[in-house]
Every structure is written in structure tokens, then in C-alpha cells.
Amino acid sequence: MSKIESAPPRTRRPRSSLTVEGILDAAELVASQGFTALTVRAVATELESSPMALYRYFTTKDELVDALLNRVLGRFVVLPETGDWIADLRRFAVDHRRLLSEHPWAINALTLNPNPGPNALPIGEAALRILRGAGISGDDAVATFSGIIALNYGWSSFVAGKQLADDDSPMPVTTGPHTHPLTGDVAEAMSRYGSDDQYDTVLGQLLAGIAQRAGDPSPA
């Protein structure tokens, strides 16, 4: 009578083989499949390790999340200024939005995290430096920078949600004479809500307002 061979027991990764970067690599992989699923246990499973081994590096889930978000922000590349502050500000906004679009799983977490980490500082510094070159400082600079960031987070959140739903069909509208004729007129444009060209339109309007205010600092 032959014996049934059992599968060898699964061995866990030695603690000494873990690194902070390796843990963050695994955490990003887990988060990209759904940020709500990001837990220390899920990351440990991805690494074929134990949660206790990870706690040597990150004592809480919040510490792990903060480190992961800080890592994302560290990928923002601050480019040299060209001397054309409007062009530089546009490029800053587009690059920041691109960073968010490349990490859609991080958008909500970054929005809700008021202190996402030290890598946020160079991003803000770059924007404030561009604005200072336009003569915009103090409260006006903070408000302007916040407005650009708010546009990008809001726009990116909508696009991420739309992509998650995988809904590229036109928005259903009723075009009868007594219903919503104006909405019916823009049905095709509505189907592209969140597109790059529409973002460029909104950003252009925002930049035009900023430029006008910089040229005429009197209250609107």
C-alpha cells in the first residue's frame, strides 16, 4: 500500500531578509489591488512572512501607510524653472496630476492625510517658488497653491472612480423639449467628462485668473 505524500510545510521568510524597501514594495502591490485591503497581515502574506516580523520596521499600520504615501510623493520630479512662471505653474500642475493618475489607489489616502510626509515639502516649495516669481506670496500664494492641489485631487478622484466603474458610455439624458435640453446638447461632451482636454480647459481658466490677479493685485 503506497503512502500519500503530504505537501511540504510552507516556510516563512527569515526576519533578517526583510528590508524597508521590500516591505514597501509589497505594500504598494497590495494597495494597488485595493487600498482598503492594505493591512500589515496582507503585506506579510505577500512577503511570505509573519506580521510580527513587519512590526520590527513599522509598529502600526498607520506608520506603514505614512511611509507608503511619502514614497509616492517622493516620485514627484521638481524641474528647473524656465523664467516663464505661467508655463512653469502649468507644468507643475500637470506633473502633479500625472503623479496622482499613476497612483490612483493613493488619491483618497493622500487627500485624507494632512501630513503625508517630508516628501510633500519639496512639492509645495516648488509651487511657492514659482508663485513668488510672479509676485504672489503670503495668503495669496497659499490659496493659489491649495486651489491647484484641490483641482488635481478632485479631478483625479473622479477619473479614478470612473475608470474603476469602467463606464465609458455616454451619460443617459432625456432630450425632450420639456426636460433637460441643455444637458442633451452636451451629451457627447458629458461622456468625456474627466478627459485630458477638459482638464486643460479648466487649468487654463484657473491660470488665466491667477495671471490676472498677479497683474492686478486689487481685490476682485
- How does pLDDT run across 108-129, given as a tens digit for each residue? 999 998 788 999 999 999 999 9
Assigned CATH topology for domain 15-73: Arc Repressor Mutant, subunit A (1.10.10)
CA separation for the pair 58, 49 (Å, rounded): 14
Tally Cβ neighbours within 10 Å of residue 78.
Answer: 13
Query: Is the pTM higher than 0.95?
Result: no
DSSP state of 170: P
Helices marked H in 134-195: 138-165, 181-185, 187-191
pLDDT truncated to tens, each residue of the chain (220 aa)?
444 455 444 455 554 579 999 999 999 999 999 898 899 999 999 999 999 999 999 999 999 999 999 999 999 999 999 999 999 999 999 999 999 999 999 999 999 987 889 999 999 999 999 999 999 999 999 999 999 999 999 999 988 887 766 555 555 545 455 688 888 888 787 777 778 999 999 999 999 999 998 986 554 4
- Residue-wise pLDDT for 75-115, tens only, equals 999 999 999 999 999 999 999 999 999 999 999 999 998 78
DSSP per residue, 59-81: SSHHHHHHHHHHHHHTT---PPP
Set of cell numbers at residue 192: 468625456
> What pLDDT was estimated at residue 194?
79
Say which CATH class 85-215 falls into: mainly alpha
The ranges assigned to domains in the chain are: 15-73, 85-215
Residue whose C-alpha cell reads 490677479 in the numeric block: 213
8 Å CB contact between 90 and 203: yes
What is the Cα Rg of the chain in Å?
A: 23
